[in-house]
Structure 1
Amino acid sequence: MEAGELSTVVAVDGPSGSGKSSVSREVARRLGLAYLDTGAMYRAATWWCLDQGVPLGDGPAVAAAVRDLPLVMGMDPAAPTVTVGGRDVGAAIRSTEISSQVSAVATNLDARAELGRRQRELIEAERSGGWSGGRGVVAEGRDITTVVAPDADVRVLLTADEAARLARRAREVHGSDDAAAIAATRDQVVRRDADDSTVVEFQVAADGVVTVDSSELDLEQTVVAVLGVVGRAGDPQARAPR
């Protein structure tokens, strides 16, 4: 990257159903930045372990499998992709089977360390080139603001109350937010957040991290709110919503 050129890293953390994936993708699209879904990396690692017959309860075996994970992340926010060993697993990793088991990988500290290392490499690549041509990246997950990219230019904790998060995830997975759909979704949201919170804090903002509560906001309003945080951070690349 030539002297004088600028790159931006926007880090977004939050619990399940807070809207962080949809919001982060749209923020990245509007700012012309790359988009990194770190949660998809954990899902891909879970899919890989199951595909390779690795017992998720065997911590060392899971860590070894993750170190060998042949993962490629496509970081175009308009069409992000997840490829493992040349196979597009973007749809497969969103299955209920993966959702119900991903915490086994996400709470494996050695697996987290390996995936965190890869995430930092991807972020650094976008600072100097990559899909964005060096403009930067919006990275979202659960420990981006505190562990993976604590020096990000903008750090946001995107949250929402439990009822809003359950309803959103139910509509996403089941196409409805009626009582049955919410009940069927509860494990994916509440239990997974409880499991993952044993190894990382993503429900309370760390020092310097701006909280955006989307409980009463729709997607567009939340995107505008996050873009506002970027703008107030003094990022010269921040642009008005369009």
Structure 2
Amino acid sequence: MVTYLEEASAVQLGELRGVIALDGPSGTGKSTVARRLAVTLGAGYLDTGAMYRAVTLAVLRAGIATDDEQAVLTVAEHVDLRVSADAEHQDVLLGGENVGSEIRGQAVTLAVSAVSAVAQVRALLVARQMRIIDEVCQERGGIVVEGRDIGTVVAPDAALKVYLTASSDARARRRSLQDSASFDDTKRDVDRRDQLDSGRAASPLQPADDAVWLDTTNLDLQGVLDEILALVDERDLRGVAAGR
């Protein structure tokens, strides 16, 4: 079962109406940008990557080989996973345990591409992601969703699709600072993830045809936010019903 954590108090409608889809490879700043964007617009937030990471952690804890697709799928089908749709409180609960930090560890990072490449696992989680998006939009009016197949698969009718990109060196530098790892090791991991995510048969990493490309190589966080908020206003997505 995969659900999202409902807030205890009534949720006020935010400014955003509809879905903003943020896609792109590792190290482009998707997570930070998506969270800040959601907070700025009073919108819901969904990190689809955290869902794949949580399933991967469940697979590792069960001692299952990541290339045993049927066993991996069985775990995904029965996992007790709840994710927060609140950008300021990003709880990821696995069997009631908050695993938000553990899913960012090296063991999960090395295994998540293999788990997320299982077509039936992706189909299962995508269906649940779509349901969460619908429920949050009904409650809050809008949601910012980040991942690697949002504009192409999860929310193909999103009101705004942005594909974040950056040079591999820039992405490796950011990741190495974030993870306190060496640049060379991080660069190899970034290149490995790019190859796996772009080359998988099920929902490969690629921009939607109607996505706006945004190169973050030479932009700071505020610069990226300003660019996306300008697109939000250009499309009149604040306080107006926007299609998903």
TM-score (norm 2): 0.88
Deviation of the 1:92 alpha carbon: 0.4
CA contact (8 A) 1:46 1:105 kept: yes
Picking from 101, 125, 131, the partner of 1:121 is 131
- 1:202 paired with 2:212, answer no
1:40 maps to 50
Q: Residue 139 of structure 1 aligns to a residue in which SS? A: strand
- 1:56 paired with 2:66, answer yes
Structure 2 letter corresponding to 1:229: L
Deviation of the 1:6 alpha carbon: 7.7
Deviation of the 1:56 alpha carbon: 1.0
1:139 maps to 145
Q: Residue 199 of structure 2 aligns to a residue in which SS? A: coil
- 1:185 paired with 2:186, answer yes
Deviation of the 1:201 alpha carbon: 4.0
Alignment partners' CA distance in 2, 1:159 and 1:213:
5
Q: Residue 90 of structure 1 aligns to a residue in which SS? A: coil
Alignment partners' CA distance in 1, 2:64 and 2:175:
28
Structure 1 letter corresponding to 2:130: R
Picking from 9, 12, 37, the partner of 1:27 is 37
Alignment partners' CA distance in 2, 1:225 and 1:93:
30
Picking from 214, 224, 235, the partner of 1:233 is 235
Deviation of the 1:166 alpha carbon: 0.6
2:118 maps to 108
Paired-residue identity, %: 41
2:85 maps to 75
Alignment partners' CA distance in 1, 2:192 and 2:43:
32
CA contact (8 A) 1:14 1:159 kept: yes
CA contact (8 A) 1:157 1:202 kept: no
Structure 2 portions without partners, runs of 5+: 1-14
Q: Residue 54 of structure 1 aligns to a residue in which SS? A: coil
Structure 1 letter corresponding to 2:46: L
Alignment partners' CA distance in 1, 2:233 and 2:116:
32
Alignment partners' CA distance in 2, 1:185 and 1:48:
24
Deviation of the 1:53 alpha carbon: 2.0
CA contact (8 A) 1:107 1:198 kept: no
- How many residues matched? 224
CA contact (8 A) 1:28 1:138 kept: yes
Decide whether aligned partners of structure 1 residues 237 and 164 sit closer, same or farther in structure 2, where only a CA change above 3 A counts.
Answer: farther
- 1:85 paired with 2:95, answer yes
TM-score (norm 1): 0.88
Q: Residue 185 of structure 2 aligns to a residue in which SS? A: helix
Alignment partners' CA distance in 2, 1:7 and 1:18:
25
Q: Which moved more, 1:5-14 or 1:208-217?
A: 5-14
Structure 1 letter corresponding to 2:60: L
Alignment partners' CA distance in 1, 2:141 and 2:89:
18
1:155 maps to 161
- 1:16 paired with 2:22, answer no
Q: Residue 218 of structure 2 aligns to a residue in which SS? A: coil
Alignment partners' CA distance in 2, 1:220 and 1:162:
21
Deviation of the 1:236 alpha carbon: 2.8
Alignment partners' CA distance in 2, 1:202 and 1:226:
21
Picking from 158, 166, 177, the partner of 2:172 is 166
Alignment partners' CA distance in 1, 2:108 and 2:238:
39
Off by >6 Å, runs of 4+ in structure 1 = none
Across the aligned residues of Structure 1 and Structure 2, the Cα RMSD in angstroms comes to: 1.6
CA contact (8 A) 2:16 2:143 kept: no
Structure 1 letter corresponding to 2:101: A
